[in-house]
């Protein structure tokens, strides 16, 4: 199998689709890996590291798509990349089709492609291996981001997270109760923040409370409680995830207006449209904006800031899947690997997710019927 890794640095993306170690594993098992020059530089990997381990270095994105059966991407494909996709290719990466442009989807469907989204690969126990692994990183990053943007020089409230003798700690409000929220809660509590989590799944909230030995305050995420907690938050983190769907709005503009000036919002759901009404996409180069007097941090590829760690995590997850596909073929792999089958957005040019088909008024075909024969 021919596998392509494109250079995505033009999209302010620092992560690479595959580490040299992951490429080496695939090459050792008889596959050819084409790596576009510079793909790993922002993650600290040189072209020579890839080539020394058997990967072939190519110099244009056109070559990556032209030579590969399967292409790995991190950020969703842009206009140029959609045009370069070849007929019958398999696309692996973060696609977030629920917030994609219909013209992109239609263009890809015409090429009879198959699209697998890392963000919706889901195990039988409903765990999301790709999302959860990166969520552990993103949750930890919330501490560093909060410490930076609460400083006076950044326009923040001028407070430290843990407080000091006679001065109380910052109040951190986390909306959500999954892995992302759990990681953020652990980091903020560990730094001494007064931390409150709001969610709608009692079992998950109970797990969070038990994990923190009762130090975490938990509340049901009703509109009343969300509005009340927004008013007292120094740090408000949106960590709501609905796999393959647009994130619901949990914090309205009216709620944001009541927040303390100079407090911080981190919308970790921005990849899927954001869960805070005032959020809009930012980048690692310009990560914040101020709306209603509140600092907003809304970077979609947040773990790209720690690109080497994130690249290793993604590579360790995807390499075994690629080996399975190389051995069994895509159809047979999907028949035997339910988690991967759950991650299929499009199969052979047909949309395999009903919510996506309905959202864009396009034809839907059940993945199980697509795999027959």
| 271 annotated active-site | yes
- Calculate the CA 295 to chain-centre distance: 22
Q: Please report where in the chains the tokens 């109760």 appear, as a residue.
A: 177
Scanning the chain, the segments in alpha helix (DSSP H) are: 20-28, 47-52, 61-67, 79-84, 102-110, 129-149, 179-190, 202-211, 223-232, 253-257, 307-328, 330-336, 338-342, 354-360, 367-370
Nearest residue to 251 via CA among 263, 335, 243:
263
Catalytic site residue from 96, 194, 234, 267: 96
3-state helix, strand and coil shares in percent for the chain, rounded to the nearest 5: 45, 15, 40
| 96 annotated active-site | yes
CB 127 within 8 A of CB 115: no
Catalytic site residue from 31, 267, 271, 296: 271
Backbone phi and psi for residue 344, each to the nearest 5 degrees, phi listed first:
-85, 120
Q: Please report where in the chains the tokens 């509109």 appear, as a residue.
A: 223
CB 12 within 8 A of CB 75: no
Buried b (16+ CB within 10 A) or exposed e, 71-91: bbbbbbbeeebbebbeeebbb
CB 96 within 8 A of CB 119: yes
Residues with active-site annotation? 96, 271
């Amino acid at each position: 199998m021919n596998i392509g890794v494109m250079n995505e640095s033009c999209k302010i993306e620092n992560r690479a689709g595959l580490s040299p170690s992951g490429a080496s594993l695939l090459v050792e098992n008889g596959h050819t890996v084409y790596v576009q020059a510079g793909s790993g530089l922002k993650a600290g990997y040189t072209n020579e590291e890839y080539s020394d381990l058997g990967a072939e270095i190519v110099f244009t994105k056109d070559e990556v798509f032209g030579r590969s059966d399967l292409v790995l991407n991190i950020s969703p494909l842009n206009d140029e990349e959609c045009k370069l996709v070849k007929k019958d290719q398999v696309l692996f990466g973060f696609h977030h089709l629920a917030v994609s442009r219909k013209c992109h989807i239609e263009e890809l469907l015409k090429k009879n492609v198959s699209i697998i989204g890392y963000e919706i690969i889901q195990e039988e126990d409903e765990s999301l291996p790709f999302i959860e692994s990166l969520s552990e990183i993103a949750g930890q990053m919330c501490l560093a981001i909060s410490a930076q943007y609460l400083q006076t020089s950044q326009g923040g409230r001028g407070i430290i997270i843990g407080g000091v003798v006679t001065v109380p700690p910052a109040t951190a409000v986390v909306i959500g109760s999954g892995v992302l929220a759990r990681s953020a809660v652990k980091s903020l509590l560990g730094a001494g923040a007064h931390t409150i989590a709001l969610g709608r799944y009692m079992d998950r909230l109970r797990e969070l409370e038990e994990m923190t030995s009762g130090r975490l305050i938990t509340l049901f995420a009703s509109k009343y409680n969300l509005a009340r907690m927004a008013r007292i938050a120094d740090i408000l983190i949106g960590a709501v995830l609905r796999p393959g769907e647009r994130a619901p709005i949990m914090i309205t503009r009216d709620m944001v207006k009541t927040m303390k000036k100079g407090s911080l919002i981190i919308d970790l759901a921005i990849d899927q449209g954001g869960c805070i009404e005032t959020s809009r996409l930012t980048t690692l180069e310009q990560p914040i904006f101020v709306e209603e007097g509140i600092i907003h941090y809304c970077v979609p590829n947040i773990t790209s800031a720690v690109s080497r760690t994130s690249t290793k995590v993604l590579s360790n997850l995807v390499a075994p899947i690629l080996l399975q596909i190389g051995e069994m073929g895509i159809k047979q792999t999907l028949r035997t690997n339910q988690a991967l089958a759950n991650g299929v957005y499009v199969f052979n040019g047909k949309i395999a997710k009903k919510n996506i088909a309905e959202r864009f008024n396009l034809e839907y075909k059940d993945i199980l019927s697509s795999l027959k024969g």
